[in-house]
Amino acid sequence: MHDVVVGHWEPNDLDIAAGIYAGFGASINVLNGGIECRGGVESTQATNRVAYYKEYMNWFGVEIPDDEMLTCGTMSNFPTDGDGYLDMFWD
């Protein structure tokens, strides 16, 4: 989640094939993907998250790039061979 939010995560070919691109939509997918994402349509929850995100970005004077993927309705689960899957242990 950290790397998605701060912009360090970049999707690999498997992520892109699953419809997962860098941006706010990927953070929704990490948090509540099974509830708010998938199915080809945006859930009310995800739509509300995007609206709040836009408000906060505007309030802080941060411009949202035109190509940022804000939504997650067309995303699948993160693939186990995708760039977001890290076999690691946090101590």
Q: Which domain holds residue 8?
A: 2-59
- Residue 13 in any domain: the answer is yes
Number of domains making up the chain:
1
Query: Per-residue confidence of the chain (91 residues) as pLDDT tens digits?
Result: 788 888 888 899 999 999 999 999 999 998 888 888 887 888 999 999 999 999 999 999 999 999 999 999 999 888 888 877 666 656 6
- Residue 52 in any domain: the answer is yes
What DSSP character marks residue 83? T
Which residues are CB-contacts of 18 (< 8 A; sequence separation ≥ 6)?
A: 75, 76, 77, 78, 79, 82
